[in-house]
């Protein structure tokens, strides 16, 4: 369908108060971007992210949602066969020049709606267990090839006529300001037994005529749970595995004398209300693992994998053999469809507690739940032989649903018995034991060992600045000071940072807030000086004497009126000196509000060094303390 479009860049300045004031941005009606598939070139950037099977995507000049003979749509043909594990994900970009073209990045913060039109070919078969054509997962692709999932659209049988689909957009979604394209995907898992064919038209983002109000961030304190926190983050995505993995590879049960067991004690995890969220163990031979033990998608890429999948109030024991870059065997329960991979299920009141997987010998297996329930299964000797050492183990979590991003599984203890390499870790912190563990995570920032002296997670919703986390002993009349905390984690639509007991304002009471400091001036520190925010001069110490011809470093900080560092400043800075013979550096950019520059005095005397913001002339320059050059 044809429609006039234009690309429009919108910028806004948000004034900050204690928790950042809301900003109202007036916008004219605009649709940006739109793919109406008017010509065959409009499918230039369509690619298959993964399958199998891979769909065929072609421009169809015979079908248009508005019956415009001068336009068309894109036709999907997905040759499903009814095999377990079948799925696809495709996407195209806004720039739409070639595959994986992220050449145009859209800030979609002020857009409120995502929509498209769909028409299913009546020859398509519906799902076996449902009266529909299947769940079409839809969403946005972000810079760096991340995704933002939107509510799934289950295609009704009525969609054999053109059907309009709309989904609201939330301007606080993580990375909504970095949109490069759109995705469509479907997890069939054997529910479609023949080809599914449908046309897509008029994929667009829209925004309203009325002003869009960007809400202020909301802050929250949540009790921290000590242990290994496997946090599913916005960066890890809906299907990102957040795992740790053994560095050693002597963890096989094959040909060991006596039983071998693998135990995971789950201290905290989502229950049945978070459908699909999993805590897992993967046992993987080094042979057939093409990307090594650090592969975050080891269960997909490796050829042979044992998988204990703990979800809600139960667990599945699954395995696959001789199947790299796929997972159909895991899910197969019907021997007529090939080797059966789902070999046991075991119910339990909740996932909390110790799950133990015990290999009594090479082929006989016992799974034990936290409630004491057990089930016994076996595998064939030839299958078992594929899992001989060298073999490593992964322990992790995966959301499996966009609604589960931000949830986590907290592990109290992981242990094995009778493996060649010993394993018994209760995760005392402050970090992972680097002699035992590496990470195999889609976002390693979400792998956090919370020490026993941790008090809270402090979190705040987006969009918001993370310039300063401040605290005070008193809400009224108190002095707000920087916490000094760092390493915040992006979780879905919010950021969070861990607060140790030592950072609490007082034992009796205290308050935390998110503040956006206003960058008003520069600060220049000579060698021998340190920053002292909140003091009249903003610094402490006296400059060290320098020697002519010998370089030294000065530190330049972007600060507020009280000399507090403003971490968000990235402006360019120029360095000058009262010593006209000095050797001076080229202009440089601030990184997280600070930068270091090399200066060399050329003549003996007492000289000064000055920092000036060349990006924004309204920021006050700063001349450092006079310094002796010998």
The rounded distance, in Å, linking the Cα atoms of 198 and 220 is 44
DSSP 215: P
* pLDDT-derived band at 67, boundaries 50, 70, 90: very high
Q: Which of 7, 81, 70, 80 is nearest to 37 (CA)?
A: 70
Is residue 155 within 8 A of residue 164, CB to CB? The reply is no
Helix (H), strand (E) at residue 298: helix 298-301
pLDDT exceeds 70 at position 13: no
* pLDDT-derived band at 465, boundaries 50, 70, 90: low
The rounded distance, in Å, linking the Cα atoms of 378 and 367 is 11
Token look-up 């010509």 returns 39
Is residue 202 within 8 A of residue 34, CB to CB? The reply is yes
The encoded tokens of residue 365 equal 């297996």
Q: What is the pLDDT of residues 329-349, one digit of tens each?
A: 999 998 988 899 999 999 999
φ, ψ at 328 (rounded to 5°)? -60, -35
Can you give the pTM of this predicted structure?
0.69
Q: Which of 199, 203, 207 is nearest to 176 (CA)?
A: 207
* pLDDT-derived band at 436, boundaries 50, 70, 90: very high
Is residue 243 within 8 A of residue 444, CB to CB? The reply is no
pLDDT greater at residue 13 or residue 231: 231
Tell me what pLDDT residue 477 has: 59
Task: Select 23-213's CATH number: 3.40.50.300, 3.40.1120.10, 3.40.50.880, 2.60.120.260.
Answer: 2.60.120.260
Token look-up 């020859």 returns 123
Q: What are the residues whose beta carbons fall under 8 Å from the beta carbon of 338, sequence distance 6 or more?
A: 328, 329, 332
Q: Do domains 23-213 and 237-450 have the same CATH topology?
A: yes
Question: What CA–CA distances, in Å, run from 454 to 145, 331, 484?
Answer: 34, 40, 15
Token look-up 């999948």 returns 309
Is residue 368 within 8 A of residue 310, CB to CB? The reply is no
The rounded distance, in Å, linking the Cα atoms of 522 and 187 is 54
The rounded distance, in Å, linking the Cα atoms of 403 and 408 is 12
Tell me what pLDDT residue 312 has: 86
Token look-up 């299958």 returns 383
Token look-up 């209760």 returns 426
> Terminus-to-terminus CA distance in the chain, angstroms?
76
* pLDDT-derived band at 12, boundaries 50, 70, 90: very low
Exposed, middle or buried, 283 (CB in 10 Å: 0-12/13-18/19+)? buried
Tell me what pLDDT residue 274 has: 60
pLDDT exceeds 70 at position 2: no
Q: Can you name the residues that pair with 591 across neighbouring β-strands?
A: 594
pLDDT above 90: percentage of residues in the chain: 62
Q: Which of 596, 600, 601, 591 is nearest to 611 (CA)?
A: 596
Asked if residue 91 has a cis previous peptide bond (ω within 30° of 0), the answer is: no
pLDDT exceeds 70 at position 21: no
What is the average pLDDT across 204-228?
82
Topology of domain 521-629, CATH:
Immunoglobulin-like (2.60.40)
Asked if residue 53 has a cis previous peptide bond (ω within 30° of 0), the answer is: yes
pLDDT exceeds 50 at position 359: yes
* pLDDT-derived band at 488, boundaries 50, 70, 90: confident
The rounded distance, in Å, linking the Cα atoms of 357 and 343 is 13
* pLDDT-derived band at 120, boundaries 50, 70, 90: very high
Question: What CA–CA distances, in Å, run from 278 to 284, 358, 407, 582?
Answer: 18, 20, 10, 62
Topology of domain 237-450, CATH:
Jelly Rolls (2.60.120)
Domains of the chain: which residue ranges? 23-213, 237-450, 454-515, 521-629
* pLDDT-derived band at 153, boundaries 50, 70, 90: very high
Q: Which of 251, 248, 271, 272 is nearest to 262 (CA)?
A: 251
Q: Which of 244, 253, 242 is nearest to 421 (CA)?
A: 253
Tell me what pLDDT residue 506 has: 73
Greatest mean pLDDT range, 26-40, 74-88, 397-411, 413-427: 413-427
φ, ψ at 495 (rounded to 5°)? -110, 150
Q: What are the residues whose beta carbons fall under 8 Å from the beta carbon of 12, sequence distance 6 or more?
A: 23, 25, 214
Give the three-state DSSP class for 613: strand
Q: Which of 278, 326, 279, 318 is nearest to 302 (CA)?
A: 326
Tell me what pLDDT residue 50 has: 81
Region class of 322: left (phi > 0), else alpha (psi between -120 and 50), else beta: left
DSSP 578: S
What is the average pLDDT across 543-556?
96
The encoded tokens of residue 145 equal 């090839």
Q: What is the pLDDT of residues 393-417, one digit of tens each?
A: 999 999 988 788 889 999 999 999 9
Q: Which of 601, 175, 237, 246 is nearest to 419 (CA)?
A: 246
């Amino acid at each position: 369908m044809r429609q006039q479009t234009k690309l429009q860049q919108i910028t806004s300045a948000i004034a900050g108060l204690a928790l950042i004031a809301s900003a109202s941005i007036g916008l004219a009606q605009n649709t940006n971007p739109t793919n109406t598939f008017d010509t065959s070139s409009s499918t230039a950037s369509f690619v298959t992210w993964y399958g199998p099977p891979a769909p065929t995507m072609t421009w169809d000049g015979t079908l248009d949602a508005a019956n415009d003979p001068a336009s068309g749509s894109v036709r999907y043909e997905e040759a499903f066969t009814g095999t377990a594990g079948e799925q696809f994900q495709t996407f195209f970009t806004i720039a739409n020049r070639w595959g994986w073209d992220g050449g145009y990045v859209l800030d979609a913060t002020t857009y409120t709606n995502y929509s498209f039109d769909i028409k299913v070919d009546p020859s398509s078969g519906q799902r076996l267990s449902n009266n529909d054509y299947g769940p079409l997962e839809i969403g946005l692709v972000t810079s760096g090839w991340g995704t933002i999932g939107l509510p799934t659209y289950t295609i009704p049988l009525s969609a054999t006529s053109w059907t309009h689909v709309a989904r609201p957009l939330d301007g606080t979604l993580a990375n909504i300001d970095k949109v490069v394209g759109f995705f469509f995907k479907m997890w069939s898992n054997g529910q479609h037994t023949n080809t599914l064919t449908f046309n897509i038209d008029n994929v667009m983002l829209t925004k309203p005529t009325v002003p869009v109000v960007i809400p202020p961030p909301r802050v929250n304190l949540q009790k921290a749970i000590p242990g290994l926190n496997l946090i599913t983050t916005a960066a890890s995505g809906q299907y990102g595995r957040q795992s740790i993995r053994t560095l050693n590879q002597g963890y096989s049960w094959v040909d060991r004398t006596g039983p071998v067991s693998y135990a995971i004690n789950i201290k905290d995890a989502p229950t049945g209300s978070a459908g699909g969220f999993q805590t897992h163990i993967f046992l993987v031979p080094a042979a057939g693992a093409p990307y090594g033990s650090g592969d975050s998608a080891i269960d997909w890429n490796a050829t042979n994998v044992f998988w204990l999948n703990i979800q809600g109030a139960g667990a599945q024991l699954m395995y696959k053999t001789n199947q790299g870059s796929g997972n159909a065997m895991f899910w197969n329960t019907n021997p007529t469809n090939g080797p059966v991979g789902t070999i046991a299920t075991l119910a339990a009141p909740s996932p909390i507690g110790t799950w133990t997987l015990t290999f009594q010998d090479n082929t006989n297996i016992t799974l034990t739940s936290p409630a004491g329930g057990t089930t016994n299964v076996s595998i064939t000797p030839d299958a078992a032989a594929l899992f001989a050492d060298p073999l490593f183990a992964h322990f992790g979590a995966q959301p499996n649903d966009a609604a589960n991003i931000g949830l986590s599984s907290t592990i109290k203890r992981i242990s094995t018995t009778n493996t060649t390499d010993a394993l018994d870790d209760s995760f005392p912190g402050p970090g992972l034991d680097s002699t035992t563990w590496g990470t195999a995570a889609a976002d390693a920032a979400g792998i956090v060992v919370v020490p026993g002296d941790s008090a809270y997670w402090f979190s705040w919703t987006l969009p918001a600045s993370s310039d300063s986390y401040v605290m005070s002993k008193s809400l009224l009349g108190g002095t707000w000071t920087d916490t000094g905390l760092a390493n915040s984690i992006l979780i879905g639509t919010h950021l969070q940072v861990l607060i140790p007991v030592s950072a609490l304002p007082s034992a009796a009471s205290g308050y935390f807030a998110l503040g956006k400091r206003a960058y008003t001036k520069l600060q220049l520190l000579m060698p021998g000086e340190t920053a002292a925010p909140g003091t009249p001069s903003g610094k402490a110490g006296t400059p060290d004497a320098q020697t002519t011809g010998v370089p030294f470093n000065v530190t330049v900080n972007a600060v507020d009126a009280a000399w507090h560092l403003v971490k968000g400043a990235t402006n360019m800075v120029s360095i000058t000196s009262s010593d006209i013979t000095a050797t001076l550096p080229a202009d440089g950019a601030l990184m997280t509000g600070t930068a270091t520059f090399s200066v060399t005095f050329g003549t003996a005397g007492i000289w000064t060094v000055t920092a000036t913001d060349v990006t924004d002339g309204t920021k006050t320059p700063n001349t450092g303390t006079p310094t002796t050059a010998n």
